Structure formats: C-alpha cells, structure tokens
Structure 1
Amino acid sequence: MTATAPRATTRRAATDAGPGDGESVGTGHAACHHGEILQGVFLDERGRRCQALVTLPMNGPGSTAHFTPRTGTPPDDVRVTPAGRTKARAAAVLALRECAARLSAAPCGGVLTLTGDIPVGLGMGSSTSDVIATVRAVADAWGVRLPPRTIAGLAVRAEGASDPLMLAPGPPLLFAQREGRTLEALGPALPPAAVLGCALGGGAPVDTLALPAPAYDARDLDTYEHLRRMLRRAVSDGDTALLGRVATASARLGQRRLTHAEFPALTRIADRVGAVGVQIAHSGNVAGVLFDPRTPGLNARLHRCARDLEREGITPTRVFTTHPSPNSPASHQPTPSEDSSRGRAHLGSHRPAGPDTSRRRTRLPAV
C-alpha cells in the first residue's frame, strides 16, 4: 500500500533527480483524532508485550504543511513557521534525507509553513498531524510517494511516538505508537456512534512528558487483551453498546495515570442520559460521551448531556459521528459565547491550546 501524495503547486519533470527550483512547493495534510477508544499493553504477533492504542477518528480539524526546497542548502537548514514546531522540523529533515536517498540525490534544506486548527495539548494528535503533514509536503515537493509504513517510521523518529494518522481514513487499528506499526486491523469500520466531545481540566493543555510512564503488570495484560477481544467483537457485530463498554473500561484504567477530577461526574452523566459509554484521551484532557445514533430522542439526549456537563464545569466542544454522512459536516464546533476564554497558546503559533469554554447553552446540531 502506498500513500498518494497531494499535487505540488509546481511539478518538476519526472526525470529530474531531486526537488524542483525555489518555485516548487509541496503540500501535505493530515487529520487529527479525538483521543483513544482503547490504550494499554498487548501481545504482538511474536507474543511480545507492546504498548498500543486504538484512536477515535474525527474528520474536520487538521494540519496543512507547505514545503519549499532550497537547493544547495544543508538538509538540516529548515526554517519553520510558526517557530517552535520542533517535531515538525525534525520530521522535515528526516523526510528530506529519505526522499533524497530514494532518488540518489543530494538532500537540501527548505522553508516549512504549518497551518491548522487542532487544539494543542488535549490529546488530539496535534503534533502527529503536524509531523505527518510535513512528511507528506516534503515528499510532494520531491515528487516521491512514501508508503504509510515509512511515514510512520519517520514520525516515530521525529517525536518518539505516533498515532496512526498516516493510515487514515481506514479501518480501526490496534497500533503500536512507539514502534509505528499495526498490531491488528480490527475490522472494516467502527460501530456507528454519535460523540459529544468535551474538555476536562478546564481545557488546559497537558504536558505529556510530565505524566508518569505507564507501568503494566501481568494482570493488566490479561485485562487489555480481554478488552481487545471485546472491541474486535464490537467491530465485527457493529455493536455500539459494546464499543462504549470497551471505551469506558479503558478510560477508567487510564485514570490511574491521568486522575481527572471530573471523571466520576462524566460517567454519572453518561449513565443518566442513556449514553453507551465515555472515552478519554490517554495523553490529554479531551473526552467524549458516546451514544448509539439509533437511540430514540438522540438530539434531546445530546442537549441534556451538554447542559449536565456544563453544570459540572465540563465544557462541551462538538458533536461528531464515527460514520459521518457525505452530505453533512463530519463535526460541528458549537458557537462560543462572548465571554469564552482560551487556554495558553502553543509556543510560537496562533493555534489554541484548548477549546472555547462557552458559559451558555451549547448549540448542538442534529446528527
């Protein structure tokens, strides 16, 4: 399987070895996700323990990268805008060397520009999205098609771990984030679910490097392997209720490390409004309440859930579905109030660190 790179603004001749002149601009894009459905420790095909996760995909927000090569400059001479995107810069340098090696050409530096609307520090894969968009933009500028496995390897080298965004859209995957490889394709698609997203911790960004490293024992392995089997069955049967049970169990286990003060209220509200469960990013503050979209009175339940969350100081952010209609938006950002606030901005960027925190009734769409 190979990734189809976006078209460059200016395409060089196929017989040229190396990037085009300074007018050639490569473009890449990558989506984000909404945290995890399942994350823990599992056995790989060789029976080896391996940390892995299953992300909850979300269309809409993402990162876009534009890369302009500068022929004759050193390959580590990459200027990035906004400044401070060190992981994306590292990914650009790695991708430059990879593309040059594939073409037997000399690598060079260039100019990288990133834009995007993914909140930083909430566990939505903002840095991975930047990194993958960057790799795709560099490859596009060089006219190279990089397979997803190569992109995954470069992403792991650039940031130490990677979500499986280079494989999206696609089937749900159990993905070893620190190794950049798929442990298992769980089936064709997730069961249908409507998700009311929200932000815990006041929407403050989480410094994942400051979190304690996960420590798993033999009992944890048994538990997560059981959840893996449950999720496999949920996907096979299209069982939204079982999906919710797996996500809730994983979120509950993750509280040993994240300790969200609002978690009891989140699960209590989910039970009260007839949701099938909750999911939480295991490296941030983004969370979601999961509903079966076939549930009678779904819109009324979503509105009630949003109101109850706000009463507990939990900010509703958006509604989206795992199976968005092609004729409707995949996700919806509620309109903030005039007195909404934002978290601390990402270093060197204009991208918000957290979602708008509306203090009035959230406007939610039909799904």
Structure 2
Amino acid sequence: MAGARDLMSDEISRSSVGTGTAIAHHGELIQGVFKDDGGRLHRGLVTLPIAGLRSEASFARSDDDAIVVHPDHKIKASAAARLTLDFLNVTGGGVLTLQSSIPVGHGYGSSTADVVASIRAVAATLKIQLRPSSIGRLAVAAERASDAIAFDDHAVLFAQREGVVIENFGGALPPLLLLGFKAKDGIPVDTLQLPPARYDSAEIQEFGVLRALVARAVRHQDPDLLGRAASASAVISQRHLPKQGFHEVAEIARRAGACGVQVAHSGSLFGLIFDLFASNLKRRAALVAQQIRRAGFKDVDVHLVNAEGWTW
C-alpha cells in the first residue's frame, strides 16, 4: 500500500494542521456472505449510518517520526495515521487528537469513526481528499475489520475484512426514522474477539436475496423493502450471535407497524425502522419508545437517517 497514489488531487502541499470527521452507524442493515461478480464469496455488510454521532480528529504534522495520540488509548487511530502517511509517501509523524460523541462497544462503530476521521485529518494536512475506497482499505489495514462509514450516506455492500466494495447500490438509503436502543443486558462487545459466524449454504443463498432487496430499496427509495431485508438478516444473526430479547423486540415492531427490525450484528443494538413519511409517526414512535423502556431495554433514542431538513 505504501507509495500508492489513489488521490483526487495530484498536488501535495504541506499544511501544519488538518481536521477530519466521521459519523457513527447503528450496526448493519444486512450482514453475511455474498458473491462477487466472479462468484467468489466474501463476508460483507451494509452499514446503517447515523449522522447525529461523530468522531472529530485533528492532526498536526511534525518532523519527528512518532505518532502521538490523545487520548493515548486510541491505538487504532494512531495506526491509521501512520498508514495514511505511508500511503501518501510522507515522512515524519505528528500529534493526533480525537474527540468523539460515540458510545464505545455497542455497535456504533466508534473505533472505525476514529480511524476514518484520523485518515481524513492526516490527508487534510496535505490538502488531499482521499476517495472513500482508499479510506476503506486503510481503515481495514488499521483495525482488521471495518465498516462502510467512509462512504458516509452512500449505500454499498462492503467486505469488512478486505476493505473492498462488493456492490455499489448507486445512491443513498431512503429517509428513515430509526428508534434505537440497547439489549437489556447492555454489555459492551469487543467485535474482534467474536468468532466469525459460519453460515450454511441456505443462509448464503438467502443473503443473495436480501442483497437484491436492499438494491431495490435504494433504487425505489422504499423503506418497507429495506425493513424486510434488515429483519431477515437479523433473524439469521440471531442463530449465530443471539441477543437477549430479540423475539420480544420483533413482536413490538410487528404491533407498531414498523418496516422492520435492525441489529448491530456484533453489538448490543436494536433498531426499529419506520418510514419517515408515515402518518402520525411522531406520536406512534413516542408510544413505541414507552413500550420499549417498560420492557427493560436501555438507552432508547430516535435517529433520523437521510432526513435533511427534518426536525424531531
């Protein structure tokens, strides 16, 4: 990767400080194993971005080779900064400072947001804007498994352990209201310590169908199709990485007329997907949130997805 020049700008000019940001996500809409155009299987996912939570990074270059990071436990972000300098053929190091509003360990993509923000900040010191595909590859190199938040609100099927796009869906997800919350135990999860799920041939075939549903949902901006795909993927995930209270959540979603149930496949998050244009949505969402709290789930919150101009 060192020496590669996959840049939007050919001109490198030195700047003392660069900044970068990256949004969080609420786990995945679908996650599984998918075929590429050549028929080869890849582990992949479609990320559900939430712009209300984010990581912010600043990077001050120095002639010293060291990368100093604040807070000092953000070692993945530090690795990403070094990889980015190497990728851009830049000597020296610098001071990387991170601030984040993203909760750690529940499936919000806190470490990937730190990594992506850091990559963008390092590139910004050189007045370079890296392509999302380059950022994705660097993020995987820094943390072994990543997600697609480098693509912001653009929907892609992303191979999280390879850093490549399996399918570009050609647009953003439809506008959604997401009622998000944590499982009753609410225990943080170390994603990299979880063994990858071993899907059978029937499940892999089903993932192909779910991928097609997501593609159609993006093309037609159809939240109901997206919810169907997310619910089916969540059911498969429940066989491999079960979440406490899943069936109770599925029943609440059914009664509430939600488009579907979404989960962080390797985290503790649940989400109920609603069409942002549905009638009486604010009242319905408030009533469902009360039910979820009474049932003992944690940290219930409302997120608007691709809802520019909307307030809640």
* 8 Å CA contact retained: 1:3, 1:148: no
1:166 maps to amino acid: A
1:203 alignment partner, SS class: coil
Which of the pair has more CA radius of gyration?
A: 1
Match of 1:64 in 2: 56
Classify 1:15/1:273 alpha carbon distance in 2 versus 1 (closer, same or farther; 3 Å). Answer: closer
Match of 2:84 in 1: 95
Residues 47-91 of structure 1 show CA distances to partners (whole Å, capped at 9, x for unaligned) of: 1000111111211211111111121x22xx111111111111111
2:286 counterpart of 1:300: no
2:218 alignment partner, SS class: helix
Name which of 17, 24, 37 aligns with 1:32.
24
Point out 4+ residue stretches in structure 1 off by more than 3 angstroms.
1-4
Q: TM-score, normalised by structure 2?
A: 0.92
Q: TM-score, normalised by structure 1?
A: 0.79
Match of 1:228 in 2: 211
* 8 Å CA contact retained: 2:185, 2:244: no
Aligned counterparts, 1:38-53, within 5 A:
38-53=30-45
Q: What is the count of residue pairs matched by the alignment?
A: 306
Name which of 116, 119, 141 aligns with 2:125.
141
Name which of 159, 169, 178 aligns with 2:143.
159
Q: Which runs of 5+ in 1 are unaligned?
A: 5-13, 329-364
Residues 154-185 of structure 1 show CA distances to partners (whole Å, capped at 9, x for unaligned) of: 11110012211111132x11111111111112
Aligned counterparts, 1:64-143, within 5 A:
64-71=56-63, 73-74=64-65, 77-99=66-88, 101=89, 107-143=91-127
1:284 maps to amino acid: G
Q: Which runs of 5+ in 2 are unaligned?
A: 1-5
2:198 counterpart of 1:215: yes
* 8 Å CA contact retained: 2:263, 2:271: yes
Which shifted more, 81-90 or 179-188? Answer: 179-188
Name which of 169, 173, 179 aligns with 2:156.
173
Name which of 297, 301, 304 aligns with 1:318.
301
Give the Cα separation in 2 of the matches to 1:185 and 1:15.
29
> Which structure features the higher share of strand residues?
2
Alpha-carbon offset, residue 15 of structure 1: 7.5
Give the Cα separation in 1 of the matches to 2:140 and 2:292.
36
CA-based RMSD of the aligned residues comes to 1.9
Give the Cα separation in 2 of the matches to 1:85 and 1:300.
41
1:154 alignment partner, SS class: helix
Give the Cα separation in 2 of the matches to 1:153 and 1:291.
32
Give the Cα separation in 1 of the matches to 2:176 and 2:119.
32
